[in-house]
Copies of this chain bind each other. A is one copy, B any other.
């Protein structure tokens, strides 16, 4: 063992010993011998999900059958689970509803935002580096709502907001670079411009404080299978700030969003509250797995998660600098804490092959075209020894 390795492993052990979130890892089942740094794509399995899922299938569905819509709380799951996510994103109860995919929720949010916006405004500003689906859905929403999409770099977005701007769609954390955007400042700028802002929280919720209510965000969406560990393709959520709920006019007014769904009246009358964001029958198996997964957050303060996330990514960057030969990788993730999410993205030649080799050595991150290695740090189950081993293994791949 080299001195560098010995030093960094000792430092990792100290950091892990001092980590007050370290015991949370017991709430997850992770395979032996693996360093899992892809929780920003698919979160790990919380330990209590398997038992819940078995109960949902065999007892709730198999034995209680149709009665479970009432007796097992199936019908109210979308808003109940929304309330369970709410504190993680800084929202008071009654403003989140779970269901559908992120893309579908984005469509609701963007068309809903266009209908909330001041009449006559024509522009929909969209983060130009956005995860693709946001841009695709934004163009569809704009086409159907009579707006024009204007791509903007988030760092220029505030200046681009004008009195012709109806809606602004931004990512809290960029999926590729891991850059954290200024949600408080950009939300305030949108408000000052009289525009309605929609935030995509996929890469921030569960990794850092969002503060939806504190910053007076209008609308937001996010997935639950990354830092919230809800399972593959777990249902997404829609946040509708309480002040907008009475006027929120969904383009997907399914029967679950009706004020009295079982009256089965031919006329649609939207539920008074956030339930108007619901559409069709919720996918109960995925939904209740998510609900169980969220138990991993019991007693966890998102501020502590953020502090550990920054410490982890700082330490990982230090280990990369120590282990990886000079010039082989370049971090595209900001060094400044204020601009960093909970991932580190390293640009390198042959990134696809490098990641394949890392995975074969038990370090799981992912690759994003054309040349980015992504390493996501989920503070509630990743430790400092993991960060050290990942960087050391990366050094070996280049060695």
Contacts and interface: CB of A to CB of B under 8 A. Distances in A.
A74 B232 contact: yes
A311 interface: no
Contact of A137 (B102, B103, B140, B252): B252
Interface in A54-92: 54, 57-58, 60-63, 65-69, 74
B50 A258 contact: no
A286 B268 CA distance: 28
A254 interface: yes
A280 B101 contact: yes
B258 A136 contact: yes
Interface stretch (A34-42, A211-219, A333-341): A34-42
A257 to B, nearest CB: 8
Contact of A264 (B54, B232, B263, B369): B369
A380 B378 CA distance: 46
Contact of A233 (B60, B232, B261, B282): B282
Interface of A is mostly: mixed
Number of copies: 2
Interface of A: 29, 31, 34, 36, 38, 41-42, 44-45, 49-50, 53-54, 57-58, 60-63, 65-69, 74, 100-104, 107, 111, 128, 131-133, 135-137, 139-140, 144-145, 151, 176, 223, 225, 231-236, 250-256, 258, 261-266, 268, 279-287, 289, 359, 364, 366, 368-369
Given A29-B62, A38-B65, A60-B232, 15 more contacts: A45-B61, A50-B58, A53-B53, A53-B285, A57-B231, A57-B289, A74-B233, A101-B254, A101-B283, A102-B281, A104-B104, A133-B254, A133-B280, A151-B266, A176-B264
